[in-house]
Amino acid sequence: MQIRCYHCHKPYALSQEAVHAALTQIHEEKLHHFNAHCPHCGKSSHIATDALKRAAPNWKPGEVISEDGKQS
């Protein structure tokens, strides 16, 4: 998913794996948003859970996507 940094306003991409990892972290830690770190300025931007879910509609709690793309 594409994210626009709240601080320096530059866009950067969050990989599908990173989106899934973020959703898993949100689920396990009962967070309301995810902090994505900007590669340009290093500051974190809040990413809404809804936006992450839209970017990864196949994500489900408890599912782990391994690096080869297969679901365990």
Q: How far apart are CA 23 and CA 54, in angstroms?
A: 11
Q: How far is the CB of 35 from Zn ion (least distance, A)?
A: 12
Which residues, in sequence order, are CB contacts of 65 under 8 Å at separation 6+?
Answer: 16, 17, 20, 71, 72
Chain residues 4-43 in contact with Zn ion, contact rule CB under 5 A: 5, 7-8, 38, 40-41
Q: How far is the CB of 4 from Zn ion (least distance, A)?
A: 9
Does 3 bind Zn ion (CB under 5 A)? Our answer is: no
Q: Under the rule (CB under 5 A), what is the footprint of Zn ion?
A: 5, 7-8, 38, 40-41
